[in-house]
Chain A
Amino acid sequence: QVQLVQSGAEVKKPGASVKVSCKASGYTFTSYYIHWVRQAPGQGLEWMGIINPTGGSTSYAQKYQGRVTMTRDTSTSTVYMELSSLRSEDTAVYYCTREAIYGPVPEYWGQGTLVTVSS
């Protein structure tokens, strides 16, 4: 079965960077795009960007341009999301999500990774 397993919770200081991983299994890794979505405490869902696992091409939400980098490692079927210059407003749960077989709909989700930014 399709699984997306994310790395554990992180606590970071303002100005630091965080790198969250998302390990995929149960399907052909290069066949589906992976998106990253975040959710601040008590808030809604916000799309951050997308990576094509085949060639590694990416597209980022304008809000995160220059601060986010999404990469992948096809040898381990893992995608990564790195966010730099962290500030308190970046405290959130970060999710990776895979598109569905029937179209660009986020069907499969990782369990989420809580990133806390605090001095």
Chain B
Amino acid sequence: DIVMTQSPATLSMSPGERATLSCRASQSVSSNLAWFQQQAGQAPRLLIYGASTRATGIPARFSGSGSGTEFTLTIGSLQSEDFAIYYCQHYNNWPWTFGQGTKVEIK
């Protein structure tokens, strides 16, 4: 199985700051990489697919980049509703696997 590793585990940021989250795959997943946001008590919400394409309705402050084994999610200017846990996930083949998550918390 492909292992997805996210860093950092926690990111302490202030509103308005730029956040950069990283995700590494143990082997190439091409661009078959998605990012999700999860608020407490809610299902995950798809933000990015194809490593860099925003899903429907996702604000432009969210952007993704990378291919192969190294990926980045950038939140351009943190809004109050962006403080949450973020997961990367590969869908290159089965089994899908997820990173362990990065918690973006208010500093």
Interface residues of A (CB under 8 A from B): 35, 37, 44-47, 50, 59, 61-62, 95, 100, 102-107, 109-112
Q: Decide if B43 touches A107 in the complex (CB within 8 Å).
A: no
Residues of chain B contacted by A111 (CB below 8 angstroms):
43
Q: Given that A102-B49, A105-B91 are known contacts, is A47 also in contact with B96, CB under 8 Å in the complex? A: yes
State which residues 25-72 of B face A: CB under 8 Å. 32, 34, 36, 43-46, 49-50, 55
Residues of chain A contacted by B95 (CB below 8 angstroms):
47, 61-62
Residues of chain B contacted by A103 (CB below 8 angstroms):
49-50, 91
Interface residues of B (CB under 8 A from A): 32, 34, 36, 43-46, 49-50, 55, 87, 89, 91, 94-101
Q: Decide if A59 touches B94 in the complex (CB within 8 Å).
A: yes
Q: When the two chains form the complex, which single residue of B43, B50, B96 contacts A35, counting CB atoms closer than 8 Å?
A: B96
Shortest Cβ distance from residue A34 to the other chain B in the assembled complex, whole angstroms: 13
B50's closest neighbor in chain A, by CB? A103
Q: Decide if A112 touches B43 in the complex (CB within 8 Å).
A: yes
Q: Decide if B46 touches A107 in the complex (CB within 8 Å).
A: yes
Q: Given that A104-B91, A105-B91, A107-B55 are known contacts, is A44 also in contact with B100, CB under 8 Å in the complex? A: yes
